[in-house]
Amino acid sequence: MGRFALKIEYDGAPFAGWQRQADQPSVQSAIETALAKLEPGAHTIAAAGRTDAGVHGWGQVAHCDLQKDWDPFRLSEALNYHLKPDPVAIVACARVDDAFHARFSAVARHYIFRIMARRAPLTFGHGQFWRVNHDLDLDAMQAGAAALLGEHDFTTFRSTMCQAASPVKTLDRLDVARIVQPEGIEYRFDVRARSFLHNQVRSFVGTLERVGTGAWVPEDVAKALAAKDRSACGPVCPPQGLYLAHVVYPDDPFAN
């Protein structure tokens, strides 16, 4: 038996999220079904994070245990063949030892959130951004984001359905950039922490968008954080602009 790490890219639009569900399509089920085409039987894969419905993956990581000693390249090629036509791709595959766990071995997760500011509806980028029809104040959003860095009780920015044992997390990075794209102005939020609460990133971005419009001032973000009250949060933004971009491990299994 061998253990393999998979780096996975997917469009979250047609899925009810990462996690396997009995009556709805999921990314996990798509990959496990493909694995069963290679080695008949039930397969269960573990992932670095369980993305919600509509959330995308640029660098999701999962691991699987297989009976055959597969060449990693041939395994990725075979999986990609059987994943068609689902919008899921194995972009890298590596053999790892049994101590590696896609979730528990990870030391950081890196998310990207993309807002597109333009009046017209999106065509080619539909489902890939949160479109807003107004420009945003980058400096104000950066100032508001600064209040969230470090270790805090993030109850305000935590879904009421969150199952984490504690609301205390350490946010290592929350940068905002303004990027001129052919289709409009993109505001890209770059967020990194060891782990996240349910809806934490979307709560951050929805709140900072209010700052960007001028409906909130940057100091309101610190006040909302200090309130430790979910009702103090700004609107939770939609999932379409969120990407699990990268998962960090002490030893990168895909380095070679």
Q: Which amino acid is at 132?
A: V
52 catalytic residue (yes or no): yes
Whether the CB-CB separation of 2 and 70 falls below 8 Å is answered with yes
Of the candidates 135, 88, 85, 131, the residue with the CA atom closest to the CA atom of residue 240: 131
Residues in Cβ contact with 239 at an 8 Å cutoff, skipping those fewer than 6 apart? 12, 52, 53, 54, 55, 202
Whether the CB-CB separation of 229 and 156 falls below 8 Å is answered with yes
Measured distance CA(52)–CA(249) in Å, rounded: 22
- CA 116 to chain CA centroid, Å, is 18
Residue linked to tokens 């990609």: 80
Measured distance CA(116)–CA(183) in Å, rounded: 8
Q: Active site residue: 52, 86, 153, 229, which one?
A: 52
- Cα pseudo-dihedral 28, 75, 127, 249, rounded to 10: 80
Q: How far is CA 253 from CA 4, 102, 221, in A?
A: 9, 10, 38
Whether the CB-CB separation of 199 and 191 falls below 8 Å is answered with no
* Catalytically active residues, by annotation: 52
